[in-house]
Amino acid sequence: MPISADKKIKIVLADPNPLILSGMAEKITADSRFSLIATVRNSQDFLSTVMRGPVDLGIVCWTLPQLGGQKVIEVLRDHPSAPRILVYSQNQSNDVPRRAMAAGAAGYCDKEQTVDELITIAASVAQGKMVFPFMDIRALQADPLFLLTKRERSLLEYLSEGMTNKELATVLEISVNTVKFHLSNLYEKLEVRNRSQAIAFYYSRHLDTITEQEGGLKLRSE
């Protein structure tokens, strides 16, 4: 829900790099539109802070330690009082904004943008707008990751950890036959034939998260 013009936008910043946090916090604190609730350096502290609420907007580094930006967004997606999420990343590939949007983020900012530009985007996102770089929506809809349900995403992650069908059934609290059903749907959506190919797909699409420098965005000052 958009924030009324007479109310300050309550923000929580999340980045593992204290220098980045300090620089962003200084700019946001100086802007009369915002009220900075907290700065945090990992996923657990971010989720704990926003769940205590009320928070209007979370500004989150894509490579936030413990869970990462994508998982944080997915955890909050079904929470009725969750803040809108603006993701920022040092990665300039189209894959990160696509994945952020598919996960449920409301905006995206990359390293080529300034802190002032991020703040402008933050204000727009808080007012209910979606702010992303240009993406061909047809390509987004054709992206297998965009088609996966929340359970299928979890299943793919567990597969990457080498879990057997029996272990998947235990952790997901479903029967082995239901696991096989979900795996069949997963393979079809990913256009792969088996478990090994699904795992290969997972790691091929997460290379940016693995190799991206921790601390996310090094925004230009001007």
Q: What is the pLDDT of residue 74?
A: 86
| pLDDT tens-digit map of 38-62 | 999 999 999 999 988 789 999 999 9
The answer as to CATH 3.40.190.10 being correct for domain 142-207 is: no
Strands 84-89 and 9-14 turn out to be unpaired
Q: With a cut of 80, say whether residue 169 has pLDDT above it.
A: yes
Which architecture, in CATH terms, is 9-138? 3-Layer(aba) Sandwich (3.40)
- For the chain, the structural domain boundaries read 9-138, 142-207
Position with higher pLDDT, 213 vs 170: 170
Q: Where are the beta strands (DSSP E) in the chain?
A: 9-14, 34-40, 57-61, 84-89, 107-110
CA distance 198 to 159: 8
The one-character DSSP state at 162 is T
Share of the chain above pLDDT 70, in %: 83
**Model-level pTM greater than 0.85?**
no
CB 42 within 8 A of CB 215: no
